[in-house]
């Protein structure tokens, strides 16, 4: 019998996704640009229902119709190259799925282009790394709804499951919606990682915690409100010694220069375009950037003075205060992320379902965390919620944890420890809850130097002040 679905791209993500699908009882066609890779997958898995092809036309012809094809190739030009080769081989009604970390605007354009030939194009965010792809990722598909329905039964079987058994996949919306949601997922991932890194830095260099104490603290945090994959792996990482023989903790021999593949940057760029604040993710992107200026930082560390205050009078429950600051800031980050999704949904007419998005992030993906259930609950209670902070549960946490966040940020500033993401969190909270902001002065300046006009608090209309006339 003909394979139900095919996977193009046998690098680790594609291979693992193919094996995952096969493990649910499907015959899977596989193809890779270089034959050797396909041969190796077949040789390594002789007992699996994998049908290899060594040219694209054999691959396409081997598939059951309407054809279902998942591309797991590098985003950008390589993806376009595969699409160009496939297009003449496909028929109207076929479903082509891009499972890479593709920029959502490329997906919108490809969806439109293929639609002209009657070919369905799904942009599908896949999160969870290599193991996720194999065992159960979180899947964020967007494109034609009818096309999603054709692959939904397979996706539901291969996706991760929440602890109450729900598959971590749902239809996100038309054209680029799936890749957009994955992009924001990645941005949030950057934010979570940076918040954890700042908290670790504070415990280590302000609290003077030893490595075993640090590992223990993250382990304890993982048992409570902060329970999440990223906190869990942090606890594990902090127990690990160098495996190259230096007898140092592994984090002390890894170069402090963090790389990125661009999804966090896209997330910030899109927020800027849409006119919504995304300060926390953006600070996380900048934190990675500044980390790469290693030589400049080392040179600056010799010449720029550090703060003189050393007596910080930390309280006995320092780590609890850092924990509260971390949770508070995580809430701000997700509040910004979901507000961005809301703005994008309106702008691109996607009708995103925020509760569902939080739900499919509960398992399988990198940002999986217990607290996502609270987000789902918040949107179930009020699908029109303007900002997550306004939900009763989150409002109560903000009320309880804001004091600790202020204190921790103040200590960090006094100690000269950079906390860009934690600071962005409290600044966002304070800006959002301010009935009056100093933007009136900004408007006055704009009107002063450029006659940009201003609006008034007490009258309708547009005004211009005669700045250059004597009063
Ligand atoms: C995931 C990850 C995955 C990948 C990122 C990492 O959800 O499984 O987000 O997509 O690890 O691309 O991004 P950086 O290389 O930019 O850190």
Residue 263 alpha carbon to ligand 1 centre in Å: 8
**Strand 95-98 and strand 68-71: pairing?**
parallel
Is the predicted pLDDT of residue 89 greater than 80, yes or no?
yes
Are 267 and 369 in a shared domain? yes
Check which CATH number belongs to the domain holding 284 and give it: 1.10.1040.10
Are 352 and 441 in a shared domain? no
Is the predicted pLDDT of residue 312 greater than 90, yes or no?
no
CA proximity to 327, closest of 423, 233, 221: 221
What is residue 376's three-state secondary structure?
helix
Q: Is 189 a catalytic site residue?
A: yes
As a whole-number percent, the residues of the chain with pLDDT over 70 amount to 100
Decide: 99 in ligand 1 pocket, CB within 6 A: no
Could you tell me the pTM of the whole model?
Answer: 0.97
Average pLDDT (239-268) is 97
Q: Dig out the tokens for 225 from the structure.
A: 């409100």
Pocket test for ligand 1, best of 102, 137, 263, 357 (most atoms within 8 A of CB): 263
Average pLDDT (176-184) is 98
Are 338 and 412 in a shared domain? yes
Decide: 186 in ligand 1 pocket, CB within 6 A: yes
Task: Give the per-residue pLDDT at 411.
Answer: 96
d(CA 305, CA 323): 29
Per the structure, the complete domain to which residue 442 belongs is given by 437-471
d(CA 236, CA 336): 29
Q: Which of 128, 144, 175 is the last residue of a domain?
A: 175
Are 232 and 130 in a shared domain? no
Q: Dig out the tokens for 442 from the structure.
A: 């900004």
In the chain, how many domains are there?
Answer: 3
CB atoms within 10 A of CB 353: 18
Find the Cα–Cα–Cα–Cα dihedral 153, 157, 162, 168, rounded to 10°. Answer: -50
What is residue 93's three-state secondary structure?
coil
| Residue count (the chain) | 471
Q: How confident is the model at residue 417 (pLDDT cuts 50, 70, 90)?
A: very high
Atom of ligand 1 nearest to the CA of 262: 16
What is residue 424's three-state secondary structure?
helix
Are 145 and 201 in a shared domain? no
Task: Give the per-residue pLDDT at 1.
Answer: 80
Tens digits of residue pLDDT in 390-407: 999 999 999 999 999 999
Q: How confident is the model at residue 469 (pLDDT cuts 50, 70, 90)?
A: very high
Q: How confident is the model at residue 311 (pLDDT cuts 50, 70, 90)?
A: confident
Tokens 């903790």 belong to residue: 249
Atom of ligand 1 nearest to the CA of 367: 7
Are 320 and 248 in a shared domain? yes
Tens digits of residue pLDDT in 258-305: 999 999 999 999 999 999 999 999 999 999 999 999 999 999 999 999
Decide: 263 in ligand 1 pocket, CB within 6 A: yes
129 is in an annotated binding site: yes
Residue with CA closest to ligand 1 atom 14: 260
Are 225 and 335 in a shared domain? yes
Is the predicted pLDDT of residue 306 greater than 90, yes or no?
yes
Pocket test for ligand 1, best of 100, 159, 186 (most atoms within 8 A of CB): 186
Tens digits of residue pLDDT in 124-161: 999 999 999 999 999 999 999 999 999 999 999 999 99
Q: How confident is the model at residue 470 (pLDDT cuts 50, 70, 90)?
A: confident
């Amino acid at each position: 019998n003909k394979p139900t679905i095919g996977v193009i791209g046998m690098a680790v993500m594609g291979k693992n996704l193919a094996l995952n699908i096969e493990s649910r009882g499907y015959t899977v066609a596989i193809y890779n640009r270089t034959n050797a890779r396909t041969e190796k997958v077949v040789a390594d898995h002789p007992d699996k229902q994998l049908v290899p092809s060594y040219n694209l036309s054999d691959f396409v012809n081997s598939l059951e119709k309407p054809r279902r094809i998942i591309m797991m190739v590098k985003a950008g030009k390589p993806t376009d190259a595969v699409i160009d080769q496939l297009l003449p081989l496909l028929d109207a009604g076929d479903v082509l799925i891009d499972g890479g970390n593709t920029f959502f605007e490329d997906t919108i354009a490809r969806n439109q282009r293929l639609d002209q030939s009657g070919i369905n194009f799904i942009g599908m965010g896949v999160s969870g790394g290599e193991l996720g792809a194999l065992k159960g990722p979180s899947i964020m598909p967007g494109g034609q709804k009818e096309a999603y329905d054709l692959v939904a039964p397979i996706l539901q079987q291969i996706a991760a499951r929440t602890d109450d058994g729900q598959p971590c996949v749902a239809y996100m919306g038309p054209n680029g919606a799936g890749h957009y949601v994955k992009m924001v997922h990645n941005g949030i991932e950057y934010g979570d990682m940076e918040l954890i890194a700042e908290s670790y830095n504070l415990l280590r260099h302000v609290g003077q915690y030893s490595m075993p104490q640090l590992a223990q603290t993250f382990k304890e945090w993982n048992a409570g409100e902060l329970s999440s994959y990223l906190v869990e792996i942090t606890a594990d990482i902090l127990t690990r010694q160098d495996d190259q023989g230096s007898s140092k903790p592994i984090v002390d021999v890894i170069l402090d220069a963090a790389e990125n593949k661009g999804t966090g940057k896209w997330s910030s760029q899109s927020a800027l375009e849409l006119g919504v604040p995304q300060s926390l993710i953006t600070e996380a992107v900048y934190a990675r950037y500044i980390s790469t200026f290693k030589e400049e930082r080392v040179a600056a560390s010799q010449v720029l003075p550090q703060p003189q205050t050393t007596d910080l009078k930390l309280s006995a429950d320092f780590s609890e205060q850092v924990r509260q600051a971390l949770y508070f800031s995580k809430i701000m980050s997700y509040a910004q992320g979901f507000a961005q999704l809301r703005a994008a949904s309106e702008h691109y007419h996607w009708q995103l379902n925020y509760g569902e998005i939080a739900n499919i992030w509960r398992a399988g993906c990198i940002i999986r965390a217990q607290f996502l259930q609270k987000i789902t609950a918040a949107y179930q209670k009020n699908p029109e919620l303007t900002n997550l902070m306004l939900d009763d549960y989150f409002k109560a946490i903000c009320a309880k944890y804001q004091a600790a966040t202020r204190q921790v940020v103040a200590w960090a500033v006094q100690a000269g420890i950079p906390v860009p993401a934690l600071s962005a969190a409290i600044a966002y909270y304070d800006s959002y809850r301010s009935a009056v902001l100093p933007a009136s002065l900004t408007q006055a300046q704009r009107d002063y130097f450029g006659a940009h006009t201003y609006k008034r608090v007490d009258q309708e209309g547009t005004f211009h002040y005669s700045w250059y006339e004597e009063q």
